[in-house]
Amino acid sequence: MPFAVRTADGWFWSSSTARPAKFVATFRTREGLDAVVGDANEVTLGRIFLDGGLDIQGNIFVLLSVAEYTLRHSEGLSSNLVQTIGRISLDAARRLMHGHKSGGAENWQCSPCPLELPAEFFEPWLGSFLAHCCAFFRSAEEDLDAAQLHAMENVCDRLALEAGDHLLGVGCGWGSLLLYAAEHYGANVRGIASSETQVETAEDRIRRSGLQWKCSVQRRDLRTSPYRAGSFDKILHVGVFEQAPFTDLGKYLVCMRDMLVPEGLLLLDRMTCSHGFGTVARPMHPALPVESLSKELELAEAAGLELLNVETLRKEYDRTLSVWIERLLTNWMRDIDGRFDRESRAWLFYLVEVAAGLRAEAIQVHRLLFRCSLRKASFD
């Protein structure tokens, strides 16, 4: 689809003279455009975008088709492009974090952007459930909240959740899935969130629901303070906002196995690289690579986990990301005073990056169901 680039002083270029542009990138200054053209392989684009020197109008999904085509058809450019996006994203994350260490990373969870933001920033685009996992749309007309209800039901079904089950949710966010499991299935649930803001929001939602006796959420470093062996019947860690890095995945899986009862179940969402792409940099975390599914399954087997089921969520995540991006853009435009301008730009950058990777099939998202085997882990 045709797209255009312009600067605030009136300069304009379009990829097509016959059709109107579906997407327009506007640079505040000519110097900003020149910087991107002259230094396209560095962090320039991300820095200019985050600093407000670049704005977008029209159909942002044109960007996805451009990125998809580039990843599919440009030999020798794919890995360089991924690395470039990774460097831009890492620079964005560092600038937003202001050197502050995220609690998520300390808990084997790596969030793409800071999560120490009020729920009012996330709710307009994640939906009223504040669910940050893949939604399951049953029809083209279904809204996001209904699709997230189906997703939570799917998770509980995959775990064969029953009344009285002790369930741990790692990277539980604002607690939606845990509340659903406690209210609709009678499970006794504990959650580990990535930020104090998430903990406060989740605890407030738990109090308002009257489920304090069945639900609790805290920040906890499982590397140094795991729960005692056999504490849980089921463990879940779903959603690709926060997932254990591949670099620590083996130790993470051993920890999960140890906390499960014999034959307990573990449900994971994992972002992996597609066959033929080799190891790629994880969005927003180029130092934490995305590996192939086969390598991750080898680590799971070594950790003493038996694979029961694997399903791809690429199409579901593509639809979910599209809805999130559209809603984030809408809310961003309503943010007249620019309260969340930098945060909106960072999250938009990340969501588009992941969506482009999924559409180009450079990355995949899989939901994996494991059972704790009776043998000891062999991972060192």
Q: What is the rounded distance in angstroms from the CA atom of residue 356 to the CA atom of residue 338?
A: 27
Q: Domain limits at 191?
A: 119-316+361-372
Q: How many helices (H) and strands (E) does the chain have?
A: 13, 13
Domain assignment present for residue 144? The answer is yes
**What is the per-residue pLDDT across 99-111, written as a single tens digit (0 to 9) for each?**
334 444 456 666 6
Contacts with 133 (C-beta within 8 Å, 6 or more apart), sequence order: 148, 151, 155, 177, 238, 239, 269
> Which tokens belong to 1?
């689809």
* Percent of the chain surpassing pLDDT 90: 48
Q: Taking Cα atoms as reference points, which of 92, 89, 71 lies closest to residue 81? A: 71
Can you give the CATH number for the domain in which 228 is found? 3.40.50.150
Question: What is the pTM assigned to this prediction?
Answer: 0.81
Structurally, the chain folds into a number of domains equal to: 1
Domain assignment present for residue 176? The answer is yes
**What is the per-residue pLDDT across 200-209, written as a single tens digit (0 to 9) for each?**
999 999 999 9
> Which tokens belong to 69?
């085509």
Domain assignment present for residue 92? The answer is no
Helix 314-334 / helix 119-126 crossing angle, nearest 10 deg: 120
Measured distance between the N- and C-terminal CA atoms of the chain, rounded to whole angstroms: 51
More confident residue, 375 or 364: 364
Domain assignment present for residue 100? The answer is no
Domain assignment present for residue 341? The answer is no
How much is the pLDDT for 241? 77
How much is the pLDDT for 17? 86
Q: What is the rounded distance in angstroms from the CA atom of residue 299 to the CA atom of residue 3?
A: 44
Tokens 């299935």: give the residue. Answer: 185
Domain assignment present for residue 345? The answer is no
Domain assignment present for residue 352? The answer is no
Return mean pLDDT, the chain. Answer: 82
Q: What is the rounded distance in angstroms from the CA atom of residue 224 to the CA atom of residue 140?
A: 45
Domain assignment present for residue 25? The answer is no
